[in-house]
Chains A and B, each alone.
Chain A
Amino acid sequence: MKIREILRVLDARLVWGEPLLEEEVATACASDMMSDVLAFSKEHTILLTGLINPQVLRTADMLDIRCVVFVRGKQPNQEIVDLAREYDVAILSSGWTLYEASGKLYESGLKVE
Chain B
Amino acid sequence: MSILKDEFPVAAMDFVAAGEASGKIKRMLKKLGVNINVVRRVSIACYEAEINLVIHSRGGKILLEVDEDKLTLITRDVGPGIPDIPLAMREGYSTASDDVRMMGFGAGMGLSNMARNSDRFHIESQVGVGTEITMGFDL
Within the complex, the shortest CB–CB distance from A25 to chain B, in Å, comes to 16
Q: Which residue of B lies closest to A53 (CB)?
A: B103
Chain B binder among A13-21, A30-38, A92-100, A103-111: A30-38
Asked if A56 lies at the interface with its beta carbon under 8 angstroms from chain B, I say yes
**Dominant secondary structure at the A interface:** helix
Q: How many residues of chain B have a CB within 8 Å of chain A? A: 25
Hey, which chain A residues are within 8 Å of B46, CB to CB? 62
**Selected interface stretch from B12-20, B63-71, B129-137:** B12-20
Interface of B is mostly: helix
**Measured between C-beta atoms, what is the minimum distance from A29 to chain B in Å?**
13
Do the beta carbons of A38 and B113 come within 8 Å of each other? Answer: yes
A38 and B109 form a contact (CB under 8 A): yes
Is there a chain B Cβ closer than 8 Å to A112's Cβ? no
B47: contacting residue among A33, A38, A64, CB under 8 A: A38
Total A-B pairs, Cβ < 8 A: 68
B48 CB–A CB distance under 8 Å = yes
Other-chain contact of B107, A36, A49, A58, A62 (Cβ < 8 Å): A36
Contact of A35 with B23 at beta-carbon distance under 8 Å, contacts A54-B16, A55-B18 already known: no
A80 at the interface (CB under 8 A from B): no
Q: How far is the CA of A55 from the CA of B47 in the complex (A)?
A: 10
Q: How many angstroms from the CA of A99 to the CA of B132 in the assembled complex?
A: 40
- Once A55-B104, A56-B104 are accepted as A-B contacts, the answer to whether A35 and B110 lie under 8 Å apart by CB is yes
Name the residue on B nearest A34 (C-beta).
B104
Given contacts A62-B47, A63-B40, contact A39 B113 (CB under 8 A): yes
Taken residue by residue from 16 to 43, chain B's Cβ proximity to chain A (1 for < 8 Å, 0 otherwise) reads as 1011101100100000000000001001
Q: Is the CB of A34 within 8 A of B105?
A: yes
Residues of chain A whose beta carbon lies under 8 Å from any beta carbon of chain B? 32-36, 38-39, 43, 49, 51, 53-56, 58-59, 61-64, 87
16 A-B contact pairs sorted by A residue (CB < 8 Å): A34-B103, A34-B104, A35-B104, A38-B44, A38-B113, A49-B104, A53-B103, A54-B16, A55-B19, A55-B104, A58-B20, A58-B22, A58-B23, A62-B19, A62-B26, A87-B23
